[in-house]
Chain A
Amino acid sequence: MATITPDTQIDIGHNDDPNSNYLTSSHGFLSWAFTLDHKRIGVMYLVGIFSSFFLGGIMALLLRLHLFLPDGLFPPSIIDNDTYNQLFTLHGAIMTFLFIIPSIPAALGNFVLPLMVGAKDVAFPRMNLASFHLWVLGGIFFVIALVTTRLDTGWTFYTPYSIQTSTNVIAATIGAFILGFSSIFTGLNFIVTVNTMRPPGMSWFKMPLFMWAIYATAIIQILATPVLGITLLLLMAERILQIGIFNPALGGDPILFQHFFWFYSHPAVYIMILPAMGIISELMSVYSRKPIFGYTFIAYSSIAIALLGFLVWGHHMFVSGQSPMTAVIFSGLTFSVSIPSAIKVFNWLATMYKGNINLATPMCYALSFIFLFSIGGLTGLFLGALATDIHLHDTYFVVAHFHYVMMGGTVIAFVGGLYHWWPKMFGVMYNEMFGRLFCLVVFIGFNLTFFPQFIMGSRGMPRRYATYVPEYEIFHQLSTIGAIVLGLGMVGAVTVLIVSLFNGRKAPANPWGAATLEWTCTSPPPYYNFEHAPAVGSPYDFSDLKYDPQVGGFVKDPAAANKPKPSSHH
């Protein structure tokens, strides 16, 4: 395998001071913008992703505020129907393409994965950097769409509307197309990294479950994303050249577009949720100090979910006029994916049994995840069942369902994971009390925002509505108040982390007593990650880790140190 290792990198201004870490090893904008170090790329992704999240979040708040009154809170001179449509479209598109798809894999995955395999970097550092640059470029196209004529198609770009609207569909689709490449690059890199760079002793079934999750995600990224790319290209061709692929006025088929689109976008939902599940597996185990229950099942179920996820796209189209037979088949397949997800929840619970549960902030997020993700998952049953989906499709029930899964699932896990790895990433400890407090605020705000949406949705409130009939007013108002609380909670949660950069206590190498390899290097990691190649043990065996009050973290128990270990001496 001819790969570039950090030794051969031409890194700008890097110094070899043994006391320096990856943050201090070199300085200046260029040393970041063109770094090949996976850790810096991860951090840059983190900044980028949070900026997108912020932008999408502001839009969400505007949407929610507007919906406070049936005819809109803001006068039409500020938010008219057109503006509302653009807001929900860009909110959805930014959250999906710029934020949530890259969030865990590209930011946390990039930082953590090479450390987890005890390596110096990912398999293809240059490709990794390119994936980030592509992400920035894709983001720029979104910004172009935003500041020019914007976009009002919904993030789904359904034809024929997307072919007729005068908004900037081209800029947005080019953006999404480029982001697709970014995503493919990340996925490819992770697959090769996991396949070729695992240290001796780390067999497939000794890998941390986060790695399994990222691996399964990468498979989807590589297989599904090209379909989106092609679909978007066809859409552009259709808009520019007026050829009849999707536009019925020209003899095209608008339903074909939906098939193409969901063939990518349904698996994309698993790009969002699988890495989150991986994080939760790590957190449940570490903070309960118990080996994860049913490791093999969790590992296989990630792959099963990834593969089955390709077969269920048709459930987005139950009322599109597809034949009843097709609908029945898709409904059946849809239920088949729900089982592995359900069982994961049972596994996480069983992991806590007889444990020593540390209710640190990341664990609070993990518990919150189980609560919210269960609601998200269970409400999927209503949508998978044909008779009920007819009524619920394209209502706020769906809006609530996917926010419970994506925001309540993925975002909560992401923040939990961020809190977990934060001391490793930046070498500082945050304030636990505030960390937990804002986790609670987020939890309350979240439920207040999205639970009423289940009720109004099942009562018939359609989604993507700028105005609505007064019957739904009370539910919208609860939801809007919830969104404000949720917004404050998220801002608080991020502030706790940022503040810690300035006044946080210095983090030990292993503050939580985790057994995966990233905790064996110093916090923050040195430029080359490890001073010595780490010894591979079981990722979930905590027995030889003891808390050392002097270090303020966990260290190897000397009594257990003589135990023979499979390791990679050289």
Chain B
Amino acid sequence: MKTFQDFLQNWPAQRRAEAVEKATEEQVFSVLNKNNLQPEDFLTLLSPAASPHLERMARRAHELTLRFFGRAVHIFTPLYISDVCTNQCRYCGFNAKNKQPRHHLSVDEAAAEARAIADLGFQHILLLTGDARHLSSPQYIADVARRIKPLFASVGIEVYSLTTDEYALLVDAGVDSMTMFQETYNPELYAWLHPAGPKRDYAFRLNAPQRAAEAGMRSMGVGALLGLESFEQDAFATGLHGWWLQRNYPGMDVSVSIPRICPHEGSFDVPHALDDRHLVQYVTALRCFLPRAGITCSSRESAFMRDHLLPLGVTRVSAGVSTAVGGRVTEDAHNPGQFEITDGRSLDEMTAALRGMGYQPVLKDWENPASAC
């Protein structure tokens, strides 16, 4: 079976760079008047030639967002159930080298945390773990999912890469969505960023969404950690990944996440820190390229930025976020989170803010047909 890795070979870095460099203002205008964009059109919108025309791109993105999503914004919240990790990712707070207390919730503890989240009104939850198969095994994640599924309309996962059979195990336990951050689509840079641990396997991670789709996952999110590689390279590869998944798994809902790394996050200076203009260019280009894909903006971004990105294409936001393990009802381990959040709004604050902007906060947007009646 052809994989995204195979397909990506058609778009080597050199080809991307040349296309971006050659893009013209006229091509940008032409692309903005097209209905169905191709990958090369997406590159045009990511190019410097498009940069002076952000307002025009924004208007197009806004119109497409209204058309396909209306003024409804999906809300979810994460639940970190373990920060034990065997990887040494240079940009991550869970890095195994970081000497800090680690916390791993039992199934009962995870269920108690989930109940507290459900009591706040959340109906979409995202389970996250560090990469430690010996402790946070697929079976453990499945056990947590099965336990908390009755509390939520949707249970998603953002965990380490799994095999097809392991994804099937989670689907059977009630998991309906997964998010997989490739971090960077540049294999050489990826190897440097991940010096040790199972996450070093670039290809196994890159093709994880496809395995999840084969296992019956209903909804899929992909993303790069923006700032690790040059903007055009990783922004393009991420959008291309979403596009490829949509075309090969048409029954699956595809979304794209847009996290950007803070300039001094991790144990190195961020080489390609993304400014606000480029983030806006990315969101609007994504919306034009993938009109029906969800775009997720996490609490890494400020409330100001998240609010202003909504009309440009963002359709999914988190609220009530903690990137630490436990603390709601289980003993707070006072452990640092995976990363610093910037938008700390609670669910009620987020829903009030959305309403104030003329948007409808959607707390429930899924009914799993497989478990209905």
A, B in one complex: no
Interface residues, chain B, with chain A CB atoms under 8 Å away? none
